Structure 1
Amino acid sequence: MVVIYGIDKHLNPIKSQLSDVIHRCMQSVLGMPEDKRAHRFIPLANEDFFYPDGRTDSYTVIEINLMKGRKPDTQKALIKGLFEAIESQLGISTVDVEITIKEQEKYQWGFRGITGDEASDLKYNVDV
């Protein structure tokens, strides 16, 4: 699951495009299937979103929640790929993008009435 935060007047107009960019990167780097998109957008009013000096109102935070298993080089490739794609396709400077990857054990994920460690029918490999 991916959660994206930003100033509403800047985030709302690009939600669909940003979702596409993020998902393409996750497909390319992690091998996620086309139908495995789970993105949540949290547009915030200016007064509800404080961010570091030197950033603009385009400042965007992307939190990527993953089951544990991806190698550090794979995670770094995802982060760098996202920076590059977001800047080239959406014109948002890398200075205005913050990306964090949060990993949880497979047993800490629940979906379809089971936990992640019980799932044997995933259409993608977690250990990449």
Structure 2
Amino acid sequence: MIVIYGIKEQLNPIKATMSDVIHQCMMDVLGMPEGKRAHRFVPLNKDDYYYPDDRTERYTVLEINMMEGREVETKKALIKVLFTQFEEQLNISPIDLEITIKEQPPHCWGFRGITGDEAKLNYKVNV
């Protein structure tokens, strides 16, 4: 699951395209299936969104929640391609994008009535 934060006037007009960009990166780098998109947008009022002085109103935060298992180089590749694609496709510069990958063991995930370590996934976690 990915949670995206930004100022609503900046985020709302581009969130559909942003979701496409994020998911394409996830498919290309992690091998996620086409139908495995779980994005949650949190558009905030400007007075509810404090950010560093050297950022613009386009400052966007991505929190990527995933099961443990991906290699360090795979996660770094994902971060780098997100920076590149956000700049190329959304005109959001790397200074205005913050990415955090949060990993939890599979047994800490619950979906479809089971835990993640019990699930038969149609994609690989250990990449």
TM-score range, shorter chain: over 0.9
| Offset of residue 53 of structure 1 | 1.2
TM (norm. structure 1) is 0.98
| Offset of residue 25 of structure 1 | 0.2
- Uncovered stretches (5+) of structure 2, i.e. residues with no partner: none
| 1:20 corresponding residue in structure 2 | 20
Q: Secondary structure at the match of 1:3?
A: strand
Q: 1-side partners of 2:74 and 2:108: how far apart? A: 21
TM (norm. structure 2) is 0.99
Letter in 2 for 1:125: K
1:1-128 → structure 2 map (5 Å cutoff): 1-120=1-120, 122-128=121-127
Deviations 1:58-94 (A, max 9, x none): 0000000000000000000000000000000111111
Letter in 2 for 1:100: T
Letter in 2 for 1:68: E
Backbone CA RMSD of aligned residues? 0.4
- Uncovered stretches (5+) of structure 1, i.e. residues with no partner: none
Deviations 1:27-53 (A, max 9, x none): 000000000000000000010000011
Letter in 1 for 2:6: G
Matched positions, count: 127
- After TM superposition, which residue ranges in structure 1, 4 or more long, deviate above 2 angstroms? none
Identity %: 65
